[in-house]
A and B are shown apart, each in its own frame.
Chain A
Amino acid sequence: MTSQKTGTDKVVREGNSYRMERIKRISQSFFLHIHSTRVHISSLRPTYTFGLGIILGFLFLILILTGVVLMMYYTPSVERAYDSVKDIVYIVPGGRYIRNIHRWASHGMVLIVFLHLARVFYTGSYMHSRKLNWIIGVCMLVITLFLSFSGYLLPWDQLAYWAVTIGSNIAASARELTDLLGITNYIDIGGFMKKLLIGEETVGQPALSRFFTLHVIFLPLSLLVLIAVHFWRIRKDGGLSCADFREGVNRESDEEKNKIYTWPVVMWAELAILFVISAVLLLTAFIVDAPLLEKANPAFPENPAKSPWYFLGIQELVSYSAFSGGLLIPLLYLGFLISIPYIDKQDHYQGRWFAGKTGMRTALYSLVMSLVVVIGQLFVMVRYGWLRDWFPGISQGVVMLVNPATLSVIGFVLWAGWIRRKTNSTRMASIALFTASLVAIVIFTAMGIWFRGPNWDFFWSRSQWPVI
């Protein structure tokens, strides 16, 4: 212990007992043990992870803390829910602030989960044994989205009611497919999923009870377990991916040279991140109030009835076809994400942002291609209409399968196939497909946020919306 007080004396500092102390701090604590005792310096480069995973962990923690407080005052009944949220906002001291923090932290989590996914993808950190953690990650992405979706019903305002009505009918839209095949009477998958979700034909008390249970118990608990496994896997996979170990480099000596003690340096860094995001959240929640619309009215939807921003991309897609936009394409996308580590095993690109120059060029071309393909189709749609406007009475199957979303998917897959042929690299092909779909997601979401108004018509800006 004597060594601890002398930070200056280099000899003592490198002394055995101090080193042991630092190792013990980590290895003898259950909670700190999520870290290894020493980490590779390349994992600590801020521009490698941007701390996104840690930020997610902290946001989740903040959401649990604020969520528990909200639960003290919230009542999950159709009669009381709206008023109890009003009480939280207008009567409970500090209630509005807690609610704001909870709301903005959840938005932050959705945004950052995508950024984290993108960073893990673009650094090629899903190879070999990290495959499992990548798949766990995709599950956590889905759970995060469902957490916010289920949270949105709880205030029982207009947004809540209509967002969930639309959401549950998206689940039911599998009927579009079974109708087309003429088998809805035998297996009604859509009806089954809708009933599982909301318990009835329309959103009511059973839906609220189910969503409450999902939101406060089932989903957070699942996420907690998955986060634990996620962190454990990172340790099992030998820490974060890094590019330094390539052929020709002596792994052992390199590893020894480039590792530093986790305690206390990494701890300080993480504490700093916690402070910064807390500060940002506290400030945001102080300035911006979480919206609360009028009480749910099952007779009149809002016009436009817009869900929270991160679902507006999907809402744009369902405005082409409920089944293909709401189920088919999201499921294809998840399938693509899960299959990435199976498609691409070129591990010599691991740990390098964009896999170097070629990858960066591939990503750039894919970005431009996606912009042109998606915006081009949206232009045609807004300017000249789409199939049903040209051929009234066209069959629903065609409307379902031929729209800007499905055509983009086909285009992207062809593009990725072409890149694969040209570069003879699966890494480049997955960069192409991933980038193109990410850009498309951003465009469709932006379309939903800024360019759709009443009746889901196109407007250049909100100021042009007709008065209704």
Chain B
Amino acid sequence: MLNRINRRSFIRRGAKVLAFVAGGVALASLLRQFFPRSTGQKRRVNLGRLNDYPVDTFTFVEDQKVYLYRDHEGVRAVSAVCTHLGCILESNDEGFLCPCHGSCYSLTGKVLSGPAPGDLNWFRIGGSPDGRLYIDMNSMVTPDFKFLIT
């Protein structure tokens, strides 16, 4: 083999390799465009004042797609997005119901019936120094986590 490499075959092989590499890089960078980096979504979002939310009910927060629950001790937030195929859940006395394929969740977000593959996420609620609430969509907590009102 070795002695068969001369200048001609070397250049020919080199050109082939180069063409493959260049083609590969071009294709990869083209395909890369189909996967944009997440466009700077704010994950920690202001939710306004505590008193905007009625006591002892789940209030739907449209932009974040969560239900906020306020009681006399504090505030909790649960995802309003069905873990099955992403429909928005309806809240009722027993828990949450999905209009799309009928998955039911308990008040703590556990799947009770239907095709949903997982329980609902709960998010961390905190207070800003100016007294407003914020929600941290990156920080998952347990259902009994509560932002305590002091």
Q: B-contacting residues of A (Cβ < 8 Å)?
A: 162, 165-166, 168-170, 173, 176, 179, 195-196, 199-202, 206, 298-305, 315, 318-323, 385, 388-389, 392, 396, 399-400, 454-457
B113 touches A388 (CB 8 A): yes
B35 touches A196 (CB 8 A): yes
Partner of A305, one of B65, B87, B115: B87
A196 in contact with B85 given A305-B99, A456-B102 (CB within 8 Å): no
A299 in contact with B65 given A165-B87, A318-B85, A396-B117 (CB within 8 Å): yes
Give 20 A-B pairs besides A319-B101, A455-B102 with Cβ atoms closer than 8 angstroms: A165-B87, A168-B86, A169-B84, A179-B117, A199-B34, A199-B36, A200-B38, A206-B36, A299-B88, A301-B99, A304-B99, A315-B101, A321-B117, A322-B84, A399-B117, A455-B97, A455-B99, A456-B100, A456-B102, A457-B102
15 pairs from A and B in contact (CB 8 Å cutoff): A166-B87, A169-B84, A173-B117, A179-B117, A199-B36, A302-B99, A305-B87, A305-B100, A318-B101, A319-B102, A319-B114, A320-B115, A388-B111, A388-B112, A456-B101
A301 touches B100 (CB 8 A): yes
Give A451 Cβ to nearest chain B Cβ, in Å: 13
Determine the chain A residues whose CB is within 8 A of the CB of B62 once the complex forms.
299
Identify whether the interface residues of A are mostly helix, strand, loop, or mixed.
helix
Partner of B112, one of A170, A301, A392: A392
Determine the chain A residues whose CB is within 8 A of the CB of B85 once the complex forms.
165-166, 169-170, 173, 318, 322
Contact digits for B98-128, partner A, Cβ 8 Å, 1 yes 0 no: 1111100000000111110110000000000
B99 touches A454 (CB 8 A): yes
Q: Which residue of B lies closest to A202 (CB)?
A: B86
Q: Provide the bound-state CA to CA distance between A300 and B98, in Å.
A: 11
B87 touches A322 (CB 8 A): no
Q: Provide the bound-state CA to CA distance between A199 and B111, in Å.
A: 29
Identify whether the interface residues of B are mostly helix, strand, loop, or mixed.
loop
Q: Provide the bound-state CA to CA distance between A339 and B113, in Å.
A: 37
A304 in contact with B100 given A165-B86, A195-B35 (CB within 8 Å): yes
Q: Provide the bound-state CA to CA distance between A455 and B104, in Å.
A: 10
Q: Which residue of B lies closest to A321 (CB)?
A: B115
Range of interface residues on chain B? Answer: 20 to 34
Give A195 Cβ to nearest chain B Cβ, in Å: 6
Q: A-contacting residues of B (Cβ < 8 Å)?
A: 34-36, 38-39, 60, 62, 65, 84-88, 97-102, 111-115, 117-118
A176 touches B117 (CB 8 A): yes
Q: Which residue of B lies closest to A300 (CB)?
A: B88
Q: Provide the bound-state CA to CA distance between A299 and B90, in Å.
A: 11
Partner of B88, one of A173, A301, A315: A301
**Residue of A165, A179, A457 most packed against chain B (CB within 10 A):** A165
Give A134 Cβ to nearest chain B Cβ, in Å: 30
B87 touches A301 (CB 8 A): yes
A388 in contact with B114 given A199-B36, A455-B98 (CB within 8 Å): yes
Determine the chain B residues whose CB is within 8 A of the CB of A305 once the complex forms.
87, 99-100
Give A325 Cβ to nearest chain B Cβ, in Å: 8
Determine the chain A residues whose CB is within 8 A of the CB of B98 once the complex forms.
455
Determine the chain B residues whose CB is within 8 A of the CB of A301 once the complex forms.
87-88, 99-100
Determine the chain A residues whose CB is within 8 A of the CB of B102 once the complex forms.
319, 455-457
Q: Provide the bound-state CA to CA distance between A178 and B84, in Å.
A: 15
Give B60 Cβ to nearest chain A Cβ, in Å: 7
A396 touches B118 (CB 8 A): yes
Q: Provide the bound-state CA to CA distance between A453 and B60, in Å.
A: 24
B115 touches A399 (CB 8 A): yes
Q: Which residue of A lies closest to B113 (CB)?
A: A388
Give A328 Cβ to nearest chain B Cβ, in Å: 13
Q: Provide the bound-state CA to CA distance between A173 and B115, in Å.
A: 12
Determine the chain B residues whose CB is within 8 A of the CB of A388 once the complex forms.
111-114
B115 touches A319 (CB 8 A): yes
Determine the chain B residues whose CB is within 8 A of the CB of A201 once the complex forms.
38
Determine the chain A residues whose CB is within 8 A of the CB of B84 once the complex forms.
169, 318, 322
